[in-house]
Amino acid sequence: MSRRPSRFLLGGRRYSPAASLLLAAPFLLLVAVIFILPLATLLHESLFVPAPTTAHYARAFAEPVYLRVMLRTLRIAALVTALALLLAWPVAWAMSRSRGLGLALLGAAVLLPLWTSVLVRTYAWMVLLQRNGVVNQLLLQAGLADAPVRLLYTEGAVVLAMAHVLLPFMVLPIYSALKGIPEEYSRAARMLGASAWSTFREVTWPLALPGVTSGCLMVFLLALGFFVTPALIGGPQQMMIATLVSQQVREMLDWPFAGALVGILLVFVLAVTIAFKRAVRLDRFVGSA
């Protein structure tokens, strides 16, 4: 980050290491107490309570109930990522090819949900999908159903609502990748005789890939640990790992096991992050929002 040494000066000099540390001190102190200490305490519970053991971790993999929750979490996260990618691509593409008012409208449509409370959006989905909700009323009126269909507490509802909530995180990085591709590239490919499909496959897609990877990674990671939407829309029937952790803490008061579940989640998240280290680009969101 500091390849341009003497440009960033105050009073003509770079800050000394001591002064720099002093500036960073409040951050380090806060993160130590509110981030590192809690996580370390929780993981300590999972490994050393009541005595040094890996039994809590083994239990998560040994009991079918818990294994099923973990597999469901992976499956839902993957489905959410795929659906979000499918929905995000046209929006990102249209944004990258619009100017002025069109871009402003599309941008607003993406940013407004990003900044609207997750609870508001989850609540909206519950109102739409409940037994006598809007969707069921429409289905009945259109004659597509004879009786209200059960929509809430199904895996489909969880995937749909989560994809909706996480969509901006997919659109923004893809948009920023597509924006960087000059329009001449695809025009040139078309003039050279490439079909629309091969232009997409040979030109646009490879150039957009960094954005696509970044978006997929972000959505997948967020989906893995998502709590609010699956807890409310999925209910106990569609329990994901975050809901399981919450249940262990609040109802079973089983801190060591909750700690083990968190440990498994963390190992998985960190492994994926490290594997795709270069795709984790927070600045993409900050820059465009």
Q: Which of residues 137-196 bind other proteins (CB under 8 A)?
A: 137, 164, 167
- The secondary structure of residue 277, as a DSSP letter, is G
Give least dist CB 62 to other proteins, A: 22
CB distance 74 to 220 below 8 Å: no
Q: Which of 55, 74, 82, 87 binds other proteins (CB under 8 A)?
A: 87
Among 94, 139, 149, 207, binds other proteins (CB under 8 A): 94
**Smallest gap from residue 185 Cβ to other proteins (A):** 17
- What Å distances lie between residue 173 and 32, 119, 212, CA to CA? 31, 24, 7
Query: Is residue 289 near other proteins by the rule CB under 8 A?
Result: yes
Contact between 208 and other proteins (CB under 8 A)? no
Binding mask 8-27 for other proteins (x = CB under 8 A): xxxxx-xxxx-xxx-xx-xx
Interactions with other proteins, residue window 244-273 (CB under 8 A):
245-246, 249, 255, 258, 262, 265-266, 269-270, 273
> Cβ(244)–Cβ(261) under 8 Å?
yes
The two tokens of residue 108 are 């607003």
**Residue 190: both structure tokens together:** 């078309």
CB of 149 to other proteins, least distance (A): 17
Supply 242's token pair: 């975050």
Long-range contact set of residues 123-127: C-beta below 8 Å, sequence gap at least 24: 123/232, 125/157, 125/160, 125/161, 125/164, 125/229, 125/233, 126/152, 126/232, 126/233
| Residue number, 1 or 65, with CB nearest to other proteins | 1
Instruction: For residue 54, give every residue at least 6 positions away whose Cβ sits within 8 Å of its Cβ, in sequence order, or none.
Output: 47
Is residue 103 a contact point for other proteins (CB under 8 A)?
A: no
Residues 212 to 231 in contact with other proteins, rule: CB under 8 A: 221-222, 224-228
Instruction: Quote the least distance from Cβ 15 to other proteins, whole Å.
Output: 4
Task: Tell me the site size for other proteins, rule CB under 8 A.
Answer: 94
Out of 79, 80, 88, 260, name the contact with other proteins by CB under 8 A.
88
Burial class (CB in 10 A: 0-12, 13-18, 19+), 51: exposed
Nearer to other proteins, 194 or 227 (CB): 227
174: nearest Cα among 24, 20, 288: 288
Instruction: Say whether residue 62 binds other proteins (CB under 8 A).
Output: no
- For the CB of residue 249, give the shortest distance to other proteins in the complex, in Å: 5
Does 197 participate in binding other proteins (rule CB under 8 A)? no
Residue with tokens 């990522």: 81
Closest to 241 in 3D by CA, of 5, 39, 76: 76
Which one among 119, 145, 188, 252 touches other proteins, defined by CB under 8 A? Answer: 119
